[in-house]
Structure 1
């Protein structure tokens, strides 16, 4: 993930590659006589702050009397896009219900609602591997067979607010001279094609060499427990590690499931930590 300069309305431009994982929250829809509403288990945020509520409301059209029940499995402030994927699932579900009732929602209306809800929501409407650019509104799917590698997710200690991570990055960059280069875009495109090829051909060595996240250094300096989590995964045999989004979760990649399973077992019950074993989810997987 590369973060460019600040543009309109103080938003940051990004150039990133994103992939779906097998780990997910559970979203259920049921008819109700109470109007449109959202309930979350556990109730981590007020209803009107829940992206699964805000996304359908951003359609700016009358909504069906439906209750959305969200069973959370993905932790907050982890950089895993749990809230954004819930928002995308809520949009898809409401659109399906409205279409069945003769009130179809256009793809453009879906995209606009997603963009109004959050920068990562448009990407979550697109299944499989994708490139995300601009302020998150430009999403390009990539044709790629994702490898069967195992992924261990580890979050220990406090989460990281996205705004805080961007502020740390801006402050760090303000201390050095502008190093922007017109060739950055070309290098990004080359790296993305290299990563797509590595995943498609199961080339773990190339995959590991291309992993990068602009947030890693600044976030690990400000939150030492995240650096410790990364080192812990490395100590448990992870062959590559990556900060997820702006943090606080770290992903450890394993070519073989046995090593990943042993790592998760070793992490079970660790005080103040959450961990999960997952893998890449191919396009077309159940959402």
Structure 2
């Protein structure tokens, strides 16, 4: 069975505070993009070779393939829960950079959950898969939602799909630095007292109905179940008003920690590619465009003005909404 796991960007990410379990409560808007890892699932005879009949391979050396890795934990959880005796081989062909802020690991896990549900004829509903996904990682429920856009809260695992019909283009720039979400969130927590955060803008810019305006005036943002108030008319959500609110509370942490990412961001602003943002906990930066030809022109301009992107390890992708 062949599966394709898409990447994501965070169009908006606001940190609400640290939880008692060590995670952070957030509010974010995910967008699924057409940059895919390829995953091949193959049944093995009997229990198969490898621990518990689970055999994992990847063409990328930084993808964990042992029992401590997310892929192994995903397969093992379903095998244990449903007493699956058959062995399984998982081959992962990476195109989404590892530890890049683009959700590749979470998307791979979501695709594997979906694939094994079919391969092992478990007949799990989307809601049941999402519940399994929540136990494995905060971003996984979004990839299981089947939505191109979604509002997420809690740890990022409470998903409300957004019925946005637009299809945008993105210039993704991967800086060859490995950043881990846990470290970036911890750095953010330590810097909050130094006035690193800003007032959120999302409820002030997007078209709101009366109930949502009331929530905004009281100083509260949407919670699951209220997202339809924030976005009552998808037709009113345009490239113009979305590019007005793209924001990431973690961006300043990433820029402060990694000077090369800060230099890239400054160059993008200087050459007029203003709709740029660090995705998630970085280090990748995406630039948002309304049309493909604009993204192509932006790519050519960036390469001319910031030739560092041509160095080994750097990657540039031009992809639409998926």
Which TM-score bucket, shorter chain as reference?
A: 0.7 to 0.9
* 2:171 is the alignment partner of 1:159: no
1:45 to 56, 59, 63: 63
1:7 to 19, 22, 27: 19
Q: Contact conserved, 2:175 with 2:261, CA < 8 A, in 1?
A: yes
Secondary structure of the structure 1 residue equivalent to 2:61: coil
Deviation at 1:49, TM superposition (A): 3.7
Unaligned runs of 5+ in 1: 282-287
Deviation at 1:85, TM superposition (A): 0.3
Q: Residue by residue, what CA displacement relative to the aligned partner does 1:157-197 show, whole Å, maximum 9, x if unpaired? A: 412110111011101113459999994433789xx779958
* 2:244 is the alignment partner of 1:209: yes
- Aligned pairs (5 A) from 1:62-73: 62-63=83-84, 64-73=86-95
* 2:187 is the alignment partner of 1:168: yes
Q: 1:65 to 1:257 in 2, by over 3 A?
A: same
In structure 2, the residue matched to 1:284 is: none
Deviation at 1:107, TM superposition (A): 4.4
My pick for the range that moved more, 83-92 or 237-246, is 237-246
Q: 1:121 to 1:77 in 2, by over 3 A?
A: same
* 2:50 is the alignment partner of 1:57: no
My pick for the range that moved more, 105-114 or 116-125, is 105-114
- Aligned pairs (5 A) from 1:58-207: 58-59=77-78, 60-61=80-81, 62-63=83-84, 64-99=86-121, 103-107=122-126, 109-127=128-146, 128-147=148-167, 149-176=168-195, 183-186=218-221, 200-201=235-236, 203-207=238-242
* CA distance in 2: counterparts of 1:156 and 1:10, whole angstroms: 28
Deviation at 1:79, TM superposition (A): 0.6
Q: Residue by residue, what CA displacement relative to the aligned partner does 1:127-176 show, whole Å, maximum 9, x if unpaired? A: 221111112231111111023x3200002241211011101110111345
* 2:252 is the alignment partner of 1:232: no
Q: Residue by residue, what CA displacement relative to the aligned partner does 1:250-275 show, whole Å, maximum 9, x if unpaired? A: 00112232232244353663344111
Q: Contact conserved, 1:195 with 1:207, CA < 8 A, in 2?
A: no
Secondary structure of the structure 2 residue equivalent to 1:21: strand
Q: Contact conserved, 1:238 with 1:254, CA < 8 A, in 2?
A: no
Secondary structure of the structure 1 residue equivalent to 2:266: helix
Unaligned runs of 5+ in 2: 1-12, 201-214
Secondary structure of the structure 2 residue equivalent to 1:57: helix
2:284 to 249, 255, 261: 249
* CA distance in 1: counterparts of 2:229 and 2:187, whole angstroms: 29
Q: 1:207 to 1:180 in 2, by over 3 A?
A: closer
